[in-house]
Structure formats: C-alpha cells, structure tokens
Amino acid sequence: MFPFFCYDCSLLTFLLLLSVFHPCFPARIIPQTETVTVITTTESHNATWHDFSRFLHAERGSQLSGMSELKTYFHRFGYLSAPRTAAPYNFTDDFDSQFESAVVLYQTKLGISVTGKLDSDTISSIMAPRCGVRDNLRSSLPPPHKTHSTRHFAYFDGRPRWVRGSPMTLTYAFSPYDTIGLLSEEEIRRAFEGAFSRWASVIPVNFVEVREYEEADIKVGFYRGDHGDGEPFDGVLGVLAHAFSPVNGRLHLDGEETWAVDFDREKSKVAVDLESVASQEIGHVLGLAHSSVKEAVMYPSLGPRTRKVDLKVDDVEGVQALYGSNPNFTFSSLWQSENSSNFALGSESRFSKWTLFFAAGLLVLFSCI
C-alpha cells in the first residue's frame, strides 16, 4: 500500500503552500529597492527626459545640479509659476517649498500617491512620453490653455466647443507637405479614421476627410522642432503631439517619433502607436483637456509600444457634456465592456494562483509515492 501521508510529505506540503500563498504571512517583510523605468535603446537617441532619473528621492531641502531643468518641465505643463524674469526662466537648483507644492499638485492631478517627494512613481511619470498640452493651468497662463476641471475630465477655460447644426459635421485634412515617410498615406489615414470614428460613436458629430487642407476644420500635420506655433517639438519621445482648443483645429504630431500602426511589424523600442495619440489629440480639438483617470484616452502620458484607443466612461462623460450624446450610444454597453475587461483580469489572476496550487499538490502526492 502506498503511504499518503508522512512527515517528509507534510513538511514539503507546508513549504510549497508557503511559496504559493506567501502574502498571507506578514511576519517578515523584506524591503524592496525603488526603481525607475528608464527607456533606453541601441538606436542613435535616448528618451528626451531620461536624465531626470538622477533626481530620484529628492525632497524639500535638496539641492541638485540640473534641478532647474526639472522646474522648467513643471512650468511647461502648468504646475509651477515662472520667476519674474524674462525667458529663459532663471529657475534655481533648490528643492524649495514652492517646488514641493508643485510636486504635490502634479501627483494629485495625475493620480499618483501624494508625498511631495520625487519618488519612483513620480519620476517614472515625469519621464514618460506625453502630450504637449498643459495639465494644470492657472490664471497667469495664456488664456487658450487655461482649463476648468469637472470630476476627472477637464475642459479648456470657457468650455470652447464647435457650434454647428445638429448633427454636426467637421471636416479634416492632412497637410500635403508636413508628413512622414515611415508610414504610408493610407496607413495614416486609417489610423485617424479609426480615432475619429470612436469619438463620433458617442457624440452627434460626423467627421469627414477632405482634400482641401486649408479649408478643413481640423488640420493634421507632422512637424519637427520649432514649427511656428510657439510649441516646438523636442525629438524622440518627450512630447509626442499637441493640439489646440476649438475652434482652432490644428493637430500637430512630432515628425521625429517612430510612429507605428502595427507593433508586430515595427520592432523599435521607442515606437509610438499613431491611433492612440490621434485619439487623445482629437479630444483636445473637441475641447477636452487632460483627465486624471489613468485608463482614460485623455490621460496625458502614453508609453512607447502601448496602445490605448478605447474611450472610457470619463472620456465619454466629458465630451458628451459639450456635444450631447449620439442617439445610438448607450452607457450600458460601455460599462459592460469595462466590467468584462476587469473581470477577465481578475479571473486570470485567480486561475493562475489555483493552477499553481493544484500543480504543487500533485507534486507532493507523487513525491510521496
């Protein structure tokens, strides 16, 4: 007869169960070192803001060479007032109380744990590629970029919107001169067509492509560096794109990015999904500012090789407050989609855990035979 239980088996069982369910035993916690994800590549460039990783753990009272550059970043995106000097602004390298307040504001706006320090989550967020439209905009900043926050989504100051008949039709066109060679014209058109269609599915607005660029409501182009709108691009990663509030209609993308429509085909570590970025910039063209909901299309940052094109409840509520609802749209379908996604993630986690437990049990059983 085979023994089904013995001292060695019970000890082995205990050790295996401990390895599977170790979070349930909090007697000893091994501290983990904070790390920051730095995007590096063997290509001929680095991420624009990768040097900010050296400020990890900085806090009030710190003085680090180059901190003035980080303060310039915070000023650019609306979190820090500029010194009363002519540009370029004469920021200091001191982590003072004013900068601490800016860090707290940044963490609050972007849904990061509020510490007032440059911890790993904050530095990682700062270094992430993002949209060039400001996040938190105060009355001292230029009127076209001021925002008014409502819930998680936000609007530009005055809640500007396109005003046409209902249903509304907005035209868009691509610059025949300011384009890129990495993708074909058809691939670019399909990416934007998909992005426009998602917004059109939730509001009573139709988007129609036209060939007459100068006559279009929305003008799309790829540009490099300083391109005459006061918002110069900065090379690979960093600022990916920017757009202007209604009824300006300009939508600009950084021509130096490695734009992609298929990550299976484009292997670059710094490839950026064109449709994802287009989706957010169209939101700006319609009048939405950045959201603090990380899952939302209107959240300001987007990592390389990441695709985020599906509108979330926050995106939809924001844009419908400006334009109303598409009569064919129902929130129930959107909620069902989001709930299904969350359930799938949870089920996958539970399935993996019990699969490991079952495998451990079988291993114990056969080791005792």
- For residue 170, the one-letter residue type is L
Q: Would you call 275 a catalytic residue per the annotation?
A: no
Pairwise CA distance, residues 220 & 6, whole Å: 73
Helix, strand, coil distribution of the chain in percent, nearest 5:
35, 10, 50
- Size of the chain, expressed as the number of residues it contains: 369
**Active-site residue, selected from the candidate residues 43, 186, 281, 338:** 281
What does the radius of gyration of the chain's CA atoms come to, in whole angstroms?
Answer: 25
Which letter does DSSP use for residue 255 in this model? T
Q: At what angle do helices 313-323 and 274-286 cross, to 10 degrees?
A: 30
Pairwise CA distance, residues 34 & 128, whole Å: 17
* Angle, CA 122 vertex, CA 53 and CA 236 arms, to 5°: 55
For 324, the token pair is 């109303």
For 70, the token pair is 């980080």
Query: Which residues have a Cβ under 8 Å from the Cβ of 186 and sit 6 or more positions away?
Result: none
For 233, the token pair is 């691009």
For 315, the token pair is 């995106």
Give the position of tokens 């844009």.
319
Yes or no: say if 137 and 146 are a contact pair by the CB < 8 Å rule.
Answer: yes
Query: Catalytic residues, which ones?
Result: 281
